Chains A and B, each alone.
Chain A
């Protein structure tokens, strides 16, 4: 592992039957980076995040998170990860604090009651702590989902399109929480289709196309015409001409 490299992926291949979704993907993230993973639908973003999260096994290649190899050391990796997807992964028939208490027990969080209180304060849900999650708006559920993901103070936060289905206010509240988490030095990898939003937040932008990272740029090296233009160029260069594809 390179110095301060937290996520190291090399020549990752993922097949679902005859369909190859990831084709020799290489990806490295240093500690404290906020990486936005961009790409069109079907590029393999969710599959890649599921592999990083140990929910799916790679078909070939090497995946290492915080010095632990997947899938061999999956349990150790899970302890270091927090995951947020477009589904909140919460139980509607439990209250906000019961959900956090349940996940806290699953992660073996010390001084659980104190930590639950801290997390509820961080995500701004202290006043709703005893309400059932099914009575929450989508935005509140997603904020609690972030609380669930950071409850055990993970080194890496993986977010798979966390803004899906949120209105403008809810997105802004979610971003605020995310920026607070990133400001604490946590490493964040987030997939998104909302380029304007991630341009404000991420420190690096990787474009995933046809199962590979086809382009990568740091925020301070973004071209003057912005992220959208960079993204379009990256996709155009990655897509073979029509006659070649045929």
Chain B
């Protein structure tokens, strides 16, 4: 267990340290996310009620597309420089590599969310921080998305057409997490009673547990030649 945690920590540290230096991944995710919310802001001339209705949808479209860029890049960097082999050669449980990459991807996605939320609040005149529950939904949704996304990115990175392959593989699989995240976010923003939000939160939580477990079980065979 100690070796597992040591390897997991090393992968997370390596990804964060490399990204702090290069800022390749975060900058592309952030620029893309900000462009999406700017475009929606100008494309949809909405009144206050309509704005509240579309907020969760716009937010999750932004997170998901920006997240896909990050997932693709995160594994492509390993593959292009041959470093994926370097990781796979280490005498550690390969799921430690998976969890390390997934945690780093989750951190990148949460950093993007942390910057997008205040910008969105200003542009759309909606206070997204009034409901603490929304932040939990973003965390759970991002966790589910990166759990399955990291696994599929590891699969797609082996292919020549990885850039288009990842969204094609990923989006159908993450439909449950997206629907649940959008519904739960919308529930918090519209201040619906907890009984109406709870089923979506439970679905989100169940998805996170199921897909994290599946990724844990199949990652080794996905990266094996």
Contacts and interface: CB of A to CB of B under 8 A. Distances in A.
Interface of A: 50, 53-57, 75-76, 78-79, 81, 83, 85, 87-94, 98, 102-103, 105-108, 132, 148
Contacts of B3: 108
A10 B218 CA distance: 29
Given A57-B224, A93-B22, A105-B10, A75 B92 contact: yes
Interface residues of B, number: 27
Interface stretch (B77-85, B131-139, B142-150, B159-167): B77-85
Nearest to A87: B82
A168 to B, nearest CB: 24
Contacts of B88: 55
A164 to B, nearest CB: 12
A91 B18 contact: yes
A55 B90 contact: no
A105 B6 contact: yes
Contacts of A76: 91
A106 B81 CA distance: 18
B115 interface: no
Given A56-B225, A91-B18, A98-B17, A106 B92 contact: yes
Contacts of B92: 75, 106
B89 A53 contact: yes
A94 B9 contact: no
17 contacts: A57-B224, A87-B81, A87-B85, A89-B85, A89-B86, A90-B83, A90-B86, A91-B18, A91-B81, A93-B19, A93-B21, A94-B14, A94-B18, A94-B21, A103-B90, A108-B3, A108-B91
A71 B121 CA distance: 54
Identify whether the interface residues of B are mostly helix, strand, loop, or mixed.
helix
A81 B91 CA distance: 9
B129 interface: no
Contacts of B225: 50, 55-57
Interface in B169-221: none
Interface string B9-26: 111011001110110000
B179 to A, nearest CB: 37
Contacts of B87: 106
A94 B77 CA distance: 13
A159 B10 CA distance: 25
Contacts of A132: 21
B14 A102 contact: yes
Contact of B90 (A90, A94, A107): A107
A79 B93 CA distance: 12
Contacts of A98: 17
A105 B7 contact: yes
Interface string B62-75: 00000000000000
A132 B9 CA distance: 21
Contacts of B6: 105, 108
A54 B89 contact: yes
Contacts of B11: 106
A8 B218 CA distance: 30
B79 to A, nearest CB: 10
